[in-house]
A and B are shown apart, each in its own frame.
Chain A
């Protein structure tokens, strides 16, 4: 972690993420106005002391909607990453240590998952399970599982034939003991990188899905949803898409920068 602080880009990324985390944690509480309240006399206004980023076509305060929408956007991304981690990591480790049958089966399943197109699959899932962000992000979590599976498997493979693992086996260690003592530690760094990168990707996917109106039931605010509605009223509010787009881009960039910093060994110039 101390190596991370030495890189200016990583330091800045951490600051950005702290900000985003704060917004996500307290968004609905700190939004200056009710994100759902309509001000019928003030449709599609520009920025003003009362509405810092103006109002949308229904007279809702855009700034409040973005702040309040952070929670759903970030939580949804974290939810899919969590699902991906849960479904990917342990099978990835076990595919190396548990024997050929499990290895073959899990590899084929993962191959099958890789072939599914993201958005189409997510849309199909919401059609099947009902429209809701949880359902949509479950689909996304399932689709990013291969990344976690592959990364854990690759790290575990490099450990499986190491002499110190053989030493453990010669002392009578079971596969689970080998994972708990040795493999786990080797997987963590690679996993941290993948997690950061995938959180960024999921955030972008949440934005795309909500932009398409999938997963979120209309009045609820999200970053992607705001971006979509701003684009519809581009003629009236030409500066409108800048704020939501900036939030999405800044967060995704920060996560990618963090992932890069974790991936490169300390001392290597980017």
Chain B
């Protein structure tokens, strides 16, 4: 299978680096992973895809010998260089971990001690695994940080986890993971939580480690494009079994299993490609013919003029939004794209009257709403004309209330206290978002992520809004539910003429839905325009970087050099 590194392959080809055979994981109650077999050679990278709960993470944890306490390996074998890993005791695991097999995970911050500088945590790992003396460990830590692309390594060494961004933390974690020279690195959704531009850079780093140090990779991701870009081999998991396996390009280009095909369909439907002839799912022709005309007559639904927002007080205060102009027509869908900290959420909060404006004005339906306070603000909110859909549906539903009550809450607040009629409306709106009305008796934790997102959308819909504000509506969902939610949103705009503002850090995931895209960079809208225009002819360096960073199935992210040039151009522009 591997030809590129001849000499090493020949010596090691007899025994694969990792061989998993008929692996079954579960509890006495039943098994979750049911007979998984695959092998991995040295220097190879293996991608594992599948929906959440398909057993891909559990398989990785079994390879690391770190299953959750309730679960254990029920059968099969995991052999590392021919040596059996299943059933090893703690003591025998110690030399294997970090020196042979290492791992990084989705949320790097939670794997670092918040009260110890990150450099000391790396140095400690070096001292424990390689038994280096203190000064040597310090020197090596700085080396590693530099190698991981963390500039100004001496300052980084002394910084605490909270002072670093998600991408930097992931680099620190990678440094700790590879510091003892492991041969296998497992990356379980390691770039999922990162901005697209940062994800591209972290993936570059992993590819570099693979090419230069011969590190083998197991990359678990729900993002097919990431796997396509990084991996030579691919496994498709579903319900605890491998439904399809093989070299990446053939599997992705000509999938044999129905499930793989549906994954690819879900991926292709909404993810934009940089290829110009892109299929739009919200075709203008299918919209009610009245909406553009009405928009012109009645003026825009929402208009922001020169909005400045400053958060924090005194010396802590910093401008978050600077002279932002944004217009949303009746029934129009606008995507606001920007990286973490660009001010996206603050923009929505300003529209909602939560973040006070320093300057500027916000007109909704022709009336100024920016200055509303107290009772008038409450009265305006009770009309339900603008509804906000929170980023995390689980957090935004009261855990003790059946979801039906949560959905009806707005009606009660408005003063409709007739329980029977409210519940009838709840059932109608649940059906409208594609959920079984009987689910209204369930508690939020009893629903899946996709169902919860629908519930939160139902809560907004029941108040008959003219404008929906959606904060990262699909970022917490797996590919299948993501597609379904995006379809739902597109049908809401088509059938009910509800205008939407979607914010996201990932252009690809929402651009398929949007009529227009606005790019927010460091609190300013640097570019905006019709979606297809903007994708094909991005003008601002940041937009180009954003589009160039998104991996696609056909090819990886844009050329590394090109992205670095754009970063450099942005850095220069920021200083001016």
Contact = CB atoms under 8 A, between A and B. Distances in A.
Contacts of A11: none
B384 interface: yes
B395 A171 contact: no
Given A162-B395, A163-B395, A171 B413 contact: yes
A164 B398 contact: yes
15 contacts: A162-B395, A163-B396, A164-B397, A166-B396, A167-B388, A167-B390, A167-B459, A169-B381, A170-B354, A171-B413, A172-B378, A172-B380, A172-B381, A172-B382, A177-B413
Contacts of A6: none
A231 interface: no
Given A163-B392, A164-B406, A167-B459, A172 B414 contact: yes
Contacts of B459: 167
Interface stretch (A89-97, A104-112, A178-186): A178-186
B382 A171 contact: yes
A40 B406 CA distance: 70
A58 interface: no
A181 B388 contact: no
A167 B352 contact: no
B400 A185 contact: yes
Interface of B: 352, 354, 378-382, 384, 387-388, 390, 392, 395-398, 400-401, 406, 409-410, 412-414, 459, 463
A174 interface: yes
Interface in A140-173: 162-164, 166-173
A181 B413 CA distance: 10
A168 B411 CA distance: 11
Given A162-B398, A168-B413, A172-B382, 9 more contacts: A163-B392, A171-B382, A171-B384, A172-B381, A172-B413, A177-B413, A182-B398, A185-B401, A186-B400
Given A163-B390, A163-B392, A171 B410 contact: yes
B533 to A, nearest CB: 33
Nearest to B406: A164
Contacts of A172: 378-382, 413-414
Given A164-B396, A164-B406, A170 B413 contact: no
Contacts of A168: 409, 413
Given A164-B406, A167-B388, A174 B395 contact: no
A168 B459 CA distance: 11
A86 B381 CA distance: 33
Contacts of A186: 400
A164 B407 CA distance: 11
A182 B413 CA distance: 13
A169 B390 CA distance: 13
A162 B400 CA distance: 13
A15 to B, nearest CB: 30
Q: Which of A170, A173, A185, A186 is packed against the most chain B CB atoms within 10 Å?
A: A170
Contact of B388 (A162, A170, A174, A177): A170
A167 B354 CA distance: 11
Interface string A58-92: 00000000000000000000000000000000000
B381 A171 contact: yes
B395 A164 contact: yes
Contact of B396 (A167, A174, A177, A185): A167
Interface in A28-82: none
> 4 nearest interchain CB pairs?
A172-B382, A172-B381, A163-B396, A171-B410
Q: Which of B379, B406, B409, B414 is packed against the most chain A CB atoms within 10 Å?
A: B409
Nearest to B414: A172
A167 B392 CA distance: 12
A181 B354 CA distance: 21
A181 B459 CA distance: 15
Contacts of B352: 170
B406 A171 contact: no
Contact of A181 (B380, B409, B414): B409
Nearest to A177: B413
